[in-house]
Amino acid sequence: MYLKEGRSLLLKVHKPSRPFVLNTNPILNSNPKPQMEPSQAFLKEYDVLQRLRHEHHIASALEYFRSISNSRAFKHTPLTYEAMIVKLGSQCEMDGVQYLLNQMKLEGLGCSEELFISVINSYRRAGLAEQALKMFYRIREFGCKPTVKIYNHLLDALLSENRFQMINPIYSNMKKDGMEPNVYTYNILLKALCKNDRADGAHKLLVEMSKKGCSPDAVSYTTVVSALCRVGKVEEARELAVRFDPIVPVYNAVINGVCKECKIEEALELLVEMVDKGIDPNVITYSTIINSLSDMRNVESALAVLAQMFVRGCSPNIHTFTSLIKGYFLEGRVHEALGLWKRIIREGFVPNIIAYTSLIHGLCSNGKIGDAVSVLHEMERNGCPPNATTYSTLIDGFAKAGNLVGASETWNNMMNHGCRPNVIAYTCMVDVLCRNFMFHQAQCLVENMTAEGCPPNTVTFNTFIKGLCGDGKVDWAVKMLDKMEKHGCFPNITTYNELLDGLFKVNRFEEAFGLVKEIQERGMELNLVTYNTILNGFCQAGMTKDGMQLFGKMLVGGTKPDAITYNIIIYAYCKQGRISTATQIFNSIGAAKEWQPDVIAYTSLLSGICNSIGLDEAMVYLHKMIREGICPSIGTWNVLVRCFFSTLGQLEPIYILDDILRNA
């Protein structure tokens, strides 16, 4: 095992607080300060505030604050307390903040609205929203009353930590206090609903806002439009967008939505619409479309959009170029991707971690693992430390190459640099261990993840199950299905797809069909992979009739067959000797242009024809195959040659062999 032990759990080290005491009796001061000079005996509030606000070192500011108090040269006012509390809060020194607030209370100094908001925001920065809530419940102790503004900042702090269950009670409490929510309140509630995947609820809240006389603003609409697009309700989002004067962020949200659905023509139409309405698309608008085109492996069109971007006077950023580089890699145009990378570096663009990680992913995807490692070292030299995603990308590249040593060295490098692995990194390591048949080590890694503070997810288990099934260890894989729920994970359709494939491969049809029943009982929606796997299982078991019933159900359910589906059906009928049915399906579906037969389909059909009809008929389909530009494989020629030698007793096959060799 190459993984270094004892390195996968990093304990968070909290900064020590800065305890201090404001001593009102100089005699009790254990470290008395030298007597202040006469010129310093009487300090003005303005001078103290200036010193506190301009002191860059918090320790020095704190020492000054304490010393002038203990020397009795100055009695702190609400403003000087506020200046020190704000400075402490900016560094998340919450113990000091709490101490000073209590000191203000003891001295009878009231806390202003702005100071209380500053305290709430400090707790938010420190990731202590619940402590901010507790502080809010004590607000009157500090001589301050709740206001809409304070409520808004508290709600925003809770939202920042996704404390959705606390937001509604606070909002209800606000209304009980007789305070009317303003547009900022509603916008926070809209964000909360959208972050909680309740876009429909957010849509309803927009209506409620208008009814209560609080007109939604651009932020309100943009929040809801973005959320609707994110959940695939793009048409609903577009209907909402036309209700108000559209702005760039709203257009960007809708364009992003249609791009995610690969409706690139609609995205380009929206781009034209923006220009026609006098709205200038920004770098996000163009980059979104360029990224979508690159994902679709259409770099030439992406470059055309980039040219349009330049014409409109909009400068691309590093994200724009990163998308283009990704597109080049997806098309296998490695040389051009690297050329563009070198060019943007020459022109002064500073790559960020996303750009570097995309470059590493592209290199790994194209088998350039060594170059990817060099990029990782370049990142470190250029002061851009890799994160867990970067390391995971490289580990995944080694995993797909089956390189356990490289993956393990990257893992250890990640640990040595103090980067805690995320669930993706763990899952990639599970993958590489499985590819090297180290299943016991993979299982140990999965089981240790929870103890290391990074529990496995469904993808982790699916990766392990896939590895087990690929090596025929189906019983072990089925046991892992039970262990998933113990780790708080639930199987999805991919989990069942891997198990079904494993069971069918070892001819355990009864168990596989039992698993199909379990999928149906769980109410899971079958996807194309599931249908193809089950269909293949039926055909392997000689249950072609049941397979065709499943095929019919698949079509009725709206799942579109792919090349694998049709290849399975043709192969099954040919194997049963039902060549007329196979050729009928082959010809009719191909003619309807629902499917373009590939070399696998032709080889299956040729094999069936050779076995049932003869070489003459097979040659008809061979010529058709070649006319359509499909190059026969070695398997195709093997089928035909075997058929030729089985008919050696005739004279005609000699001429057919000559024909075969000419076409080879």
Task: Give the end of a domain, one of 180, 197, 213.
Answer: 180
Domain closes at, from 414, 439, 456:
456
pLDDT one-digit tens code per residue, 124-136:
988 898 899 999 9
Same domain, 391 and 424: yes
Q: Per-residue confidence at 592, pLDDT binned at 50, 70, 90?
A: low
- Residue 359 sits in the same domain as residue 407: yes
In angstroms, rounded to a whole number, what is the distance separating the alpha carbons of residues 35 and 58? 24
Residue 116 lies in a domain: yes
Query: Beta-carbon neighbour count of residue 367 at 10 Å?
Result: 13
What is the distance between the alpha carbons of residues 289 and 299, in angstroms, rounded to a whole number? 11
Look up residue 503 and give its two tokens: 């069971």
Q: Helix or strand or coil: residue 348?
A: coil
In a domain, 92, yes or no: yes
Cα angle, residue 602 at apex, residues 624 and 538 outer, rounded to 5°: 150
**Mean pLDDT for the chain overall:** 85
Q: Give pLDDT tens digits for 386-426.
A: 999 999 999 999 998 989 999 999 999 999 988 989 999 99
Most confident residue range from 222-236, 256-270, 583-597: 256-270
Q: Residue 197: what pLDDT?
A: 80
Assigned token pair, 624: 């058709």
- In this structure, the number of other CB atoms found within 10 A of the CB of residue 404 comes to 19
**What is the C-alpha to C-alpha distance for residues 270 and 231, in angstroms, rounded to an integer?**
20
Res 17: pLDDT? 47
Do residues 431 and 470 both lie within one domain? no
Average pLDDT, stretch 351-368? 95
Q: Which of 153-167, 371-385, 478-492, 641-655 has the highest mean pLDDT?
A: 371-385
In a domain, 295, yes or no: no
* 55 and 170 co-located in one domain: yes
The DSSP H or E segment spanning 630 is: none
Verify that 517 and 418 share a domain, yes or no. no
Question: What's the pLDDT tens digit per position in 611-659?
Answer: 888 888 888 888 888 888 888 888 888 888 888 777 655 445 445 545 5
Query: What pLDDT shows up at residue 33?
Result: 43
At residue 282, the pLDDT reads 95
Question: Across 147-161, 317-331, 537-551, 585-599, which has the greatest mean pLDDT?
Answer: 317-331
Residue whose C-alpha is closest to residue 167's, from 177, 153, 180, 179: 153
Q: DSSP letters along 518-568, please? A: HHHHTTPPP-HHHHHHHHHHHHHTT-HHHHHHHHHHHHHTTPPP-HHHHHH
Amino acid at 358: S
Residue 387: phi and psi, rounded to 5, are -105, -175
Whether the per-residue pLDDT at 242 is higher than 70: the answer is yes
Q: Is residue 357 part of a domain?
A: yes
More confident residue, 4 or 163: 163
User: How many domains would you assign to the chain?
Assistant: 4
DSSP state, residue 509:
H
Task: Please state, in angstroms and rounded to a whole number, the distance separating the CA atoms of residues 275 and 54.
Answer: 47
Instruction: Note whether residue 72 is domain-resident.
Output: yes
Judge whether 52 and 87 are in contact, CB under 8 Å.
yes
What are 312's two structure tokens?
């409109």
- Is 173 in the same domain as 49? yes
Distance CA 332, CA 322 (A): 15
Q: Are residues 499 and 601 in the same domain?
A: no
Nearest by Cα to 590 from 620, 558, 625, 623: 625
**Encoded tokens for 228:** 């609707």
476: pLDDT strictly greater than 60: yes
Q: Are 483 and 367 part of one and the same domain?
A: no
DSSP-assigned states of every residue in 227-274: HHHHTT-HHHHHHHHTTS---HHHHHHHHHHHHHTT-HHHHHHHHHHH
In a domain, 245, yes or no: no
What is the DSSP secondary structure assignment for residue 419, as one 8-state letter? P
Q: 306 in a domain, yes or no?
A: no
Rounded Cα gap, residues 100 and 115, in angstroms: 12
Residue after which a domain boundary falls, among 180, 199, 228: 180
- Any idea what the CATH number is for the domain that residue 536 is in? 1.25.40.10
Residue 13: predicted pLDDT = 32
Does residue 30 fall inside a structural domain?
no
Q: How confident is the model at residue 457 (pLDDT cuts 50, 70, 90)?
A: very high
What pLDDT does residue 35 have?
A: 42
Residues 6+ apart with CB under 8 A from 88: 18, 58, 62, 94, 96, 97, 100, 122
Q: The dihedral of CA 540, 546, 550, 552: what is its sign?
A: positive
Query: How far is residue 411's CA from residue 421's CA, in Å, rounded to a whole number?
Result: 8
- On the 0-12 / 13-18 / 19+ scale of CB atoms within 10 A, 46 is exposed
Does one domain contain both 172 and 52?
A: yes
Full residue range of the structural domain in which residue 595 is found: 584-663
In this predicted structure, what is the pLDDT of residue 370? 93
**Comparing 4-13, 308-317, 530-539, 637-646, which segment has the lowest mean pLDDT?**
4-13
Contact present, 87 and 100 (Cβ < 8 Å): no
* pLDDT band of 488, cuts 50, 70, 90: confident
For residue 575, what is the enclosing H or E element? Answer: helix 563-575
Position 369 scores a pLDDT of: 94
Residue range 199-217: mean pLDDT, rounded: 83
- pLDDT at 36 (0 to 100): 43
Question: In this predicted structure, which of 69-83, 142-156, 249-263 has the lowest mean pLDDT?
Answer: 69-83
| pLDDT for residue 7 | 37
Residues 478 and 423 in one domain: no
Coil vs helix vs strand at 72 = coil
Do 166 and 58 have their domain in common? Answer: yes
226 burial type by CB count under 10 A (0-12 exposed, 13-18 middle, 19+ buried): buried
pLDDT for residue 430 is more than 90: yes
Which of 330-339, 433-442, 576-585 is predicted with the least confidence, judged by mean pLDDT? 576-585
Q: Look at residue 244 and tell me whether its pLDDT is greater than 80.
A: no
Token pair of 601 as six digits: 């389909």
Structure tokens at 275: 């220009």
Considering the entire predicted model, what is its pTM? 0.70
Q: Are residues 448 and 536 in the same domain?
A: no
